[in-house]
């Protein structure tokens, strides 16, 4: 187990500088165009693939970095470049994490390479969990997966929403209900292979920020997939469901109320939550990257913009804001690095450290980008400067992969041991 440290080693610094160069030379010059177009920046993704930045090998190297700092370092630099393009480049990673968290070695080896394609024919993948009536309330999920034993197939029906790369993905990872009586413990994850009949794109969303990232509904109508596409396999699922039923029964007997439909307690994790727990520090790192970019723009502007015969940074009202911005960014990074190291080292999140990192970094990004816009004044409100786009992009961090309110709920429940609602 690697010791927790606060400095990157020489190899990590070289990777960081390499990503930073790509963000500077390729992402930033293209950011405004693809934000306006609100389309997936395929040429930029292909450029990333050509140099090995958009590839299974690169993310595997960072994922298995023994210090745990590979992924957050990479995410910060990419999202320093641009959040919308950054999400288009890393959005496939959430689906890959879903397979890594729940799949067998054979499934990992079969499906993750198909999520990325190759430099001449890049592909993307989508993780589909949220639904129109089930966002934070995962226990209310309605998409069903029914097993057809005669054909050894699963049949999926339902509608997913807010899916990054939804409908345009080569591979979709779909979370569905297999036992509605168990609430969120009755969920499982499935691979929907390329060109499977019955899967279609629904509404494509026109968003406030991260507009270069494709977000859409995914409609599943009698989608039939092989039994081997159940992540983890049926034997493992049956064992997990049996344990959940036993726990629900025991709790019901203790309370004198019998088994409660939709029960959501117990230690068995559900499929979506296993993915989100693994990805929350990475989302925090994305927020740190966006916040850092806005801070740097504001700092440079404050040093060169003159009013009343002197740079505006000479005024305490501006200088103190910049001091606070930098302090909050560094604090957010430290929380992200700690959580990332803990996850890699197998240390349990006894105080919900993963949620802490995502919560603080997300709120920091919103606050810092708003302060940067204010420092630029009227210029910050125009599209001539990138701070306006950064401010719009930052809004997503307190919403996706668990809102700030949900993170606070997770932290409070973990600290108190109480079912706080």
List active site positions: 401
Closest listed residue to residue 204, CA positions, set 393, 403, 40, 41: 40
Q: How far apart are CA 24 and CA 44, in angstroms?
A: 12
Q: How far apart are CA 328 and CA 332, in angstroms?
A: 6
């Amino acid at each position: 187990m690697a010791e927790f440290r606060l400095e990157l080693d020489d190899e990590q610094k070289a990777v960081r500088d390499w990503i930073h160069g790509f963000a500077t030379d390729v992402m930033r010059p293209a950011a405004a165009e693809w934000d306006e177009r609100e389309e997936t920046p395929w040429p930029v993704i292909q450029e990333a693939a050509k140099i090995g930045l958009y590839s299974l090998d690169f993310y595997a190297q960072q994922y298995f970095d023994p210090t745990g700092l590979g992924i957050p370092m990479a995410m910060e630099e990419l999202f320093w470049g641009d959040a919308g393009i950054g999400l288009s480049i890393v959005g496939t990673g959430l689906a890959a994490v879903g397979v890594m968290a729940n799949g067998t070695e054979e499934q990992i080896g079969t499906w993750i390479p198909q999520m990325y394609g190759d430099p001449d024919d890049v592909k993307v993948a989508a993780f589909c969990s949220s639904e129109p009536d089930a966002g934070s309330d995962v226990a209310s999920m309605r998409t069903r997966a029914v097993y057809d034993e005669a054909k050894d197939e699963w049949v999926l029906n339902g509608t997913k929403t807010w899916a990054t790369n939804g409908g345009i993905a080569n591979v979709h990872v779909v979370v569905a209900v297999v036992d509605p009586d168990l609430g969120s413990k009755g969920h499982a994850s499935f691979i929907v292979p390329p060109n499977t009949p019955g899967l279609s794109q629904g509404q494509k969303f026109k968003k406030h920020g991260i507009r270069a990232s494709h977000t859409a509904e995914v409609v599943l109508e009698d989608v039939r997939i092989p039994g081997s596409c159940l992540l983890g396999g049926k034997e493992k699922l049956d064992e997990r469901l049996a344990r959940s039923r036993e726990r629900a029964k025991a709790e019901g007997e203790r309370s004198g109320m019998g088994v409660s439909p939709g029960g959501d307690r117990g230690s068995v994790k559900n499929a979506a939550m296993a993915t989100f727990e693994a990805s929350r520090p990475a989302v925090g790192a994305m927020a740190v990257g966006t916040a850092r970019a806005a801070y740097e723009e504001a700092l440079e502007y404050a040093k060169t913009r003159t009013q009343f015969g002197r740079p505006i940074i000479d005024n305490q009202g501006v200088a103190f804001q910049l001091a606070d911005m930098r302090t909050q960014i560094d604090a957010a990074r430290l929380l992200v690095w700690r959580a990332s190291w803990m996850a890699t080292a197998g240390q349990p999140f006894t105080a919900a450290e993963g949620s802490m990192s995502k919560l603080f970094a997300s709120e920091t990004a919103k606050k810092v980008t708003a302060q940067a816009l204010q420092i630029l004044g009227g210029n910050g409100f125009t599209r001539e400067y990138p701070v306006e786009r950064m401010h719009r992009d930052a809004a997503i961090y307190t919403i996706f992969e668990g809102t700030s309110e949900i993170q606070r709920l997770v932290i409070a429940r973990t600290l108190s041991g109480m079912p706080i609602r």
